Structure 1
Amino acid sequence: MARTVTAWVGWVWFGAFALLTVGLFNIVAGLVAVFQDDKVLAWSGNGVVLFDVSAWGWVHLLLGIALTALGLALFTGAAWARYTACVFVVLNLVAQFVSLPVTPWWSLTVIALDVVVLWALTVHGADVERAVS
């Protein structure tokens, strides 16, 4: 049986590299925040939010480690890596939305990368399985 591999495989490899980038961004942001004992007040149209920067630093650090490992695992073409990466990317999207009032530009950049990664993994993931098997 002939296997058809399309050029869309490149999008999944791009998604893997973008996931590595997102993971490294989270590791850097997490480490910076972990070593700060600050609390941050963020104002929005509906009120004031108090963030414990150090606690959120741990969330970003752990997510960053998981996302980096999953980015590497995606290069194997394994289906489990794609499915797990999608779950962790959604968790990272939630974490970035929560961090939006504190670090808006950083969070928006990571959110944009997360959306591209999700698109690549969900739309073209099956092409990678055919390419590596």
Structure 2
Amino acid sequence: MSSTPSSTSSAWASGGTTFAGVVMIVTGVFGIIEGIVAIANDQVYQHIGNYTFKFDLTTWGWIHLIVGILVVGAGAAILKGLEAGRIAGIALTSLYVILHFMWLPYQPLWSIIAIGIGVFVIWALCTDVPRTRTP
């Protein structure tokens, strides 16, 4: 039995969706930790250069905390197989990628890695075919 390119792509996307749910939970927890650290101590992160998206670190902390909590929830919904979780995952991961682009001056290496992971998560969630439930 030979696999066709579409079934191989579907297998990657299906496995990628499970992986995306796990990655979303892990990165959401990291976002929560980043948020707590930025709220607790403004001196932890150093600002590198002059940048257009300049916010107070406490504001960034609250943004990371709230988005991190939402990303963890969407990741859990994806692992449960909920379609709403997949849609929320695409929307929140898109927001997560934009957020990390704006966070580049504070953590450049982690932001680039997070953007790459976010792009993979969006791809996996967009290309996976929803599973039909049988009674």
Q: TM-score, length-normalised on structure 2?
A: 0.80
Kept in 2, the 8 Å contact 1:43–1:49? The answer is: no
Q: Which residue of 1 is the match for residue 85 of structure 2? A: 81
Out of 96, 116, 119, which is 1:92 matched to?
Answer: 96
- Where do residues 1-133 of structure 1 align in structure 2 (5 Å cutoff)? 7-8=11-12, 9-38=14-43, 41-44=47-50, 50-124=54-128, 126=129, 128-130=130-132, 133=134
Distance 2:24 2:41 in 1: 26
Q: TM-score, length-normalised on structure 1?
A: 0.81
Distance 1:15 1:49 in 2: 28
Distance 2:32 2:66 in 1: 8
User: What's the RMSD between the two structures over aligned residues?
Assistant: 2.3
Distance 2:25 2:63 in 1: 17
Distance 1:84 1:48, change over 3 A: closer
Distance 1:49 1:16, change over 3 A: closer
Q: What are structure 1's unaligned runs of at least 5 residues?
A: none
Higher strand share: 1
Q: What are structure 2's unaligned runs of at least 5 residues?
A: 1-6
Segments of 4+ in structure 1 off by > 2 A?
37-42, 47-51
**What is the identity percentage for the equivalent residue pairs of Structure 1 and Structure 2?**
30
Distance 1:50 1:14 in 2: 33
